[in-house]
Amino acid sequence: MNLLHARIPSGTADTADMVAARVEFLSAGHYAPLADEVAKAAAATAGDGLILDAGAGTGYYLARVLDAAPEATGLALDVSAAALRRAARAHPRLGAAVWNLWEHWPVASDSVSVLLNVFAPRNGPEFHRVLRQDGVLVVAAPNPGHLGELTSLVDMLTVDDRKEERLDATLSEFFKLDGREDVTRKVTLSPSEIREVIRMGPSAHHLHREGRMDQLTRLSEPVDVTISFTVSVYRPVPR
């Protein structure tokens, strides 16, 4: 369902090409440990409530949480219609709506048991408004060094060393940190998987600049790569 009628600035929403690359890459299972950690953090609180994924993309992580919470239902919000067409088919208990996360959400106050935010914008006031007081916010973010081995091969965006500090500061008015887990692995990516992981992320919006696409095309050997994320669980401060 597309509830969004306003134009979205170029470079904001995932394109069809980015979505296709993400589907291919995630199907290989390289980010499965992250999905499992997100599901572990969310499932205990979900019960038979609503799990909302803010910035759900293709629904990969929300579907994993719903598998671990068999009585819950899910709602995927994302600004990309191309991504949500995939999300709508990701799980039988999942609904999807195209929406700009920076706008007032079409979601009732105090209606969400678990709120997921995986590599997506963080609208603290709306997070706090829709989440029940006994609910949890689960945030997944890349760590410094994530995919770091690829920066010498392709000029790509990197993770800010102070990202975790800024995350806590962004949410501190509305949430208190309840726990945090690190998910770090070494994986071997084929040349095609390297192209997919770069094409599915924010660097994809800049591949047409300064010969970056040529750099990707020239890759011909597998590379051992670090994948590294932090999964943080927050509780809402009392209203």
Range of the domain at 69: 16-144+159-185+227-236
Would you say residue 200 has pLDDT above 50?
Answer: yes
Note whether residue 20 is domain-resident.
Answer: yes
138 neighbors 231 (Cβ within 8 angstroms): yes
Note whether residue 87 is domain-resident.
Answer: yes
Per-residue model confidence as pLDDT tens digits over 82-110: 999 999 999 999 999 999 999 999 999 99
**Cα 156 to Cα 122, 142, 161, distances in angstroms:** 23, 14, 15
Would you say residue 180 has pLDDT above 50?
Answer: yes
Helices (H), 50-162: 60-68, 81-87, 124-130
Question: Measured between alpha carbons, how far is 142 from 146 in angstroms, rounded to an integer?
Answer: 6
Q: pLDDT grade, residue 182 (50/70/90)?
A: very high
Enter the pTM of the model: 0.89
158 neighbors 85 (Cβ within 8 angstroms): no
Note whether residue 94 is domain-resident.
Answer: yes
Note whether residue 107 is domain-resident.
Answer: yes
The whole-number pLDDT of residue 150 equals 86
Between 104 and 206, the more confident residue is: 104
CA nearest neighbour of 158 among 232, 208, 226, 65: 226
What is the pairing mode between strands 175-189 and 223-236? antiparallel
Domain count along the chain: 1
Query: What CATH number does residue 181 fall under?
Result: 3.40.50.150
The whole-number pLDDT of residue 167 equals 75
The mean per-residue pLDDT over the stretch 208-224 comes to 71
Question: Measured between alpha carbons, how far is 81 from 58 in angstroms, rounded to an integer?
Answer: 10
The whole-number pLDDT of residue 6 equals 44
Q: pLDDT grade, residue 22 (50/70/90)?
A: very high
Note whether residue 232 is domain-resident.
Answer: yes
Of 6-15, 49-58, 221-230, minimum mean pLDDT range: 6-15
